[in-house]
Amino acid sequence: MFQNNPLLIKLKKKLHQKKLKVEGIVKSTIRGFGFLEVDSQTTYFIPPQNMKKVIHGDKIIGSVEIKNNREIICPKKLIEPFLKKFIGSIYKKNNFICIQSIYPYVRDVYFYNYKTSIVRSWKNGDWITAELKQHSLRDKKCFSVNILEFISEQDNPLSPWYVILSRYNLEKKSPIVNFLNLSPDNISNNNRVDLTCLDFITIDNCYTKDIDDALFVEEISTNKLALTVAIADPTEYIPVNAEIDNIAKKRIFTNYLPGLNISMLPKKLSEDICSLKPYVKRPVLACRIIIDNNGYIIMQKTEFFLAWIKSQGKLSYDNVSNWLEQSGDWRPYNKNIEKQILLLNKIYKIRNFWRKKNALIFKDRPEYRFHLSKKWEILNISIENRRIAHKIIEESMISANICAANFLEKKLGYGLYHTHIGFDTFNAKNAVNFLKKYNIFYTSEEVMTLSGFCQLKRSLDELSDEYVNYRIRRFQSFGEISLFSKPHFSLGLNSYATWTSPIRKYSDMINHRLIKSIINKSNNIAPPNNTLLSHINDRKRKNRMAARDIEEWLYMKFFYSIKYENEHYQADIVDISRGGIHARLLNTGAFIFIPSTYIHNVHHEILCHSEYGVIYIKNKIYYRVSDNITVRLLFINNDTKKIIASLVH
């Protein structure tokens, strides 16, 4: 009733003669106009001609003006541009080049002005990294960019991998050091024990080339076993701050991606010179662990030393598992190998029993493997469950890492430790209050101790309710890397320091050097600093995000290649957000999203409670995280890379 009131219009015009200025974030639309979002309740309209001065996501100051009886924004000052360094593609039309960003809400912005030092005949669809240099609002000129890097041609089958890796500023290829001319023959025999006569074996995937651990077991009495864990020794070839060391320090990890592995070290090292290949002599850092029949490690008898070994067999997880499970045709090569497998299985059983009683064990979860053609086309997705041979190796490596943590703490007082504090004070109270609803009673002081946390986890295993486990995980803190020994609550261990993958993890190389400095009685190894710890955490996060993005792209390609529309799929709810259900398909591992409108069509009757992980319909709980549901896939959103689904009732 006030819309066309002359007095109100006159008052608005008078107020806006002062040109009220507001600050906010630009939000664009596919129709060319946009909005300035000042806060969650205040937005102003930006007409199409004014949107040409800004980009979606820009933080700006604009003046509020009246036009055709409507408040509009005229952009005046750029506070912070949204687009800085970005991934884009070359768009050619009539031999005229422009650059288009890949970000969903910036795809309609084309940059016609650019500079570059790259000498290249640009092709339509070339992927590039660019940087915004001039902003229309800030520089009083048109937008312009600098092309910083050529990533890939459009028709390169690896372009999705390269584009995603570039997005996170990660390396796209394994390092190559041309002058690398190293050999185990050049290593001094000083301080190395010759164990080449012992029956060390390796167990890995059949396609593994960077073999970094070998095992040997012997019975030393009726109630004790000696497990020797031999680990490849790349630090014997790589001096601190040498070129190869600096490469590894930057990369931090070998990046294992679907269809593509990018090694931390040059492959000449990781897959040849250092790899514990069968029947070849290799230098190792070894740990001899004495374990009694109850699974206890006799820590005071643990020895770390330098050695030579010669693996007597490269075994595969599947073959060893099949033989132990009495299936398949594979048999150990000889009686010595057979004896090693049986003794390793015995160690697994007694150590696993010890951990169940005195620490914690993660539940087995299926892993999903993408099968790609030689042209990197997706062929299939399979489920790979962890089998007995995987667990044998895992138990051996965990035992070795427990020993390393104890060794470093006692001998040096520092190292790189994996730690987890469980709950902080605030969340311990929240967890305890939540558990009372399920008649599980603890005090916050109890669950903040290692023993109390372990007892709580065992109580949850007995309850066998995945929803309760989900809620408790939400209260837990994140793991971190520490310079000093602290408990690892999630493993239920007093201390944990990894050293068993030095050709794949730079943090394990660091612990190698620290352990070797103790063995060699050297004092010239400095402790790692906090800058390096921060870099390790950052690279771990980026590697994980890159792998997730590549998986999302592969899932999209996979479902585009099959007729999914009329199929029903089983899925588990993994999270609930304000907008709907996030679930994972059981047969492929693909993550899907079910918007609330596809759950219940009456908007005011449904409430998606993200904190509690439940969905209310008419004030009644209908869905919880961990529920198994039946879904139908509807479509794939190319912009968000989400697979949209609906419930099948």
The pLDDT of residue 178 is above 60: yes
The pLDDT value recorded for residue 15 is 53
The pLDDT of residue 17 is above 80: no
The pLDDT value recorded for residue 313 is 93
Compare 403 and 179 and report the one with higher pLDDT: 403
Do residues 81 and 132 make contact, with C-beta atoms less than 8 angstroms apart? yes
Instruction: Please list, in sequence order, all residues whose beta carbon lies within 8 angstroms of the beta carbon of residue 281, skipping any fewer than 6 positions away.
Output: 184, 196, 308, 309, 310
If phi over 0 gives left and psi between -120 and 50 gives alpha, with beta otherwise, what is residue 115? beta
The pLDDT value recorded for residue 94 is 79
The pLDDT value recorded for residue 7 is 62
Please state, in angstroms and rounded to a whole number, the distance separating the CA atoms of residues 474 and 184.
Answer: 49
CA distances to 248, 255, 499 from 176, rounded to whole Å, are: 12, 16, 24
* pTM (two decimals): 0.89
Tokens of 27: 């939000």
204 is catalytic: yes
| Lowest-confidence segment of 2-16, 62-76, 375-389, 501-515 by average pLDDT | 2-16
Please state, in angstroms and rounded to a whole number, the distance separating the CA atoms of residues 585 and 454.
Answer: 31
Q: What is the pLDDT of residues 60-86, one digit of tens each?
A: 999 999 888 889 999 999 999 999 999
């970000």: which residue's tokens?
103
Mean pLDDT of the chain: 92
The pLDDT value recorded for residue 142 is 86
The pLDDT of residue 1 is above 60: no
Give 516-523 contacts, CB < 8 A, sequence gap 24+. 516/235, 516/285, 516/306, 517/412, 518/304, 518/407, 518/408, 518/411, 518/412, 519/191, 519/304, 519/305, 519/306, 520/191
Residue 588, burial from CB neighbour count under 10 angstroms (0-12, 13-18, 19+): middle
The pLDDT of residue 523 is above 80: no
Confidence of residue 190 (pLDDT cuts 50, 70, 90): confident
The pLDDT value recorded for residue 359 is 96
Q: What is the pLDDT of residues 206-244, one digit of tens each?
A: 989 999 999 999 999 989 999 999 999 999 999 999 999
Do residues 343 and 217 make contact, with C-beta atoms less than 8 angstroms apart? yes
Do residues 164 and 550 make contact, with C-beta atoms less than 8 angstroms apart? yes
The pLDDT of residue 180 is above 70: no
The pLDDT of residue 2 is above 70: no
Sorted by where each starts, the structural domains of the chain and their CATH numbers stand as: 6-80 (2.40.50.140), 85-156 (2.40.50.640), 184-418+494-548 (no CATH), 421-477 (no CATH), 563-647 (2.40.50.140)
Alpha helices (H) in 476-525, listed in sequence order: 506-519
Please state, in angstroms and rounded to a whole number, the distance separating the CA atoms of residues 175 and 248.
Answer: 9
233 is catalytic: no
The pLDDT value recorded for residue 6 is 64
Confidence of residue 11 (pLDDT cuts 50, 70, 90): low
Confidence of residue 187 (pLDDT cuts 50, 70, 90): confident
Q: At 337, is the secondary structure helix, strand, or coil?
A: helix
Confidence of residue 328 (pLDDT cuts 50, 70, 90): confident
Q: Which of these is catalytic: 58, 126, 199, 212?
A: 212
Q: Which of these is catalytic: 126, 199, 213, 508?
A: 213
Confidence of residue 181 (pLDDT cuts 50, 70, 90): low
Tokens of 302: 């643990």
107 is catalytic: no
3-class secondary structure per residue, 85-129:
EEEEEEEEECCEEEEEECCHHHCCCEECEEEECCCCCCCCCCEEE
Q: What is the pLDDT of residues 22-36, one digit of tens each?
A: 999 999 988 889 999
Tokens of 487: 């408990």
Q: Which of these is catalytic: 251, 351, 504, 539?
A: 504
The pLDDT of residue 13 is above 60: no
For 572-596, what is the mean pLDDT?
Answer: 96
Q: What is the DSSP letter of 364?
A: P
Q: Which of these is catalytic: 58, 126, 199, 204?
A: 204
212 is catalytic: yes
Q: At 531, is the secondary structure helix, strand, or coil?
A: helix
The pLDDT value recorded for residue 10 is 60
The pLDDT of residue 179 is above 60: no
Compare 631 and 111 and report the one with higher pLDDT: 631
CA distances to 118, 129, 151, 282, 381 from 115, rounded to whole Å, are: 9, 12, 16, 52, 43
| Residue 2 burial (CB count, 10 A) | 7
260-262 and 255-257 beta bridge pairing? antiparallel
| Lowest-confidence segment of 17-21, 381-385, 552-556 by average pLDDT | 17-21
For 500-517, what is the mean pLDDT?
Answer: 97
The pLDDT of residue 403 is above 70: yes
In 103-135, which positions are buried (b, 16+ CB within 10 angstroms) versus exposed (e)?
A: bebbbbbebeebebeeeeebeeebbbbbebebb
Confidence of residue 314 (pLDDT cuts 50, 70, 90): very high
Instruction: Please report, rounded to a whole number, the percentage of residues in the chain having pLDDT higher than 70.
Output: 96
The pLDDT value recorded for residue 524 is 76
Instruction: Please list, in sequence order, all residues whose beta carbon lies within 8 angstroms of the beta carbon of residue 510, skipping any fewer than 6 positions away.
Output: 415, 416, 528, 532
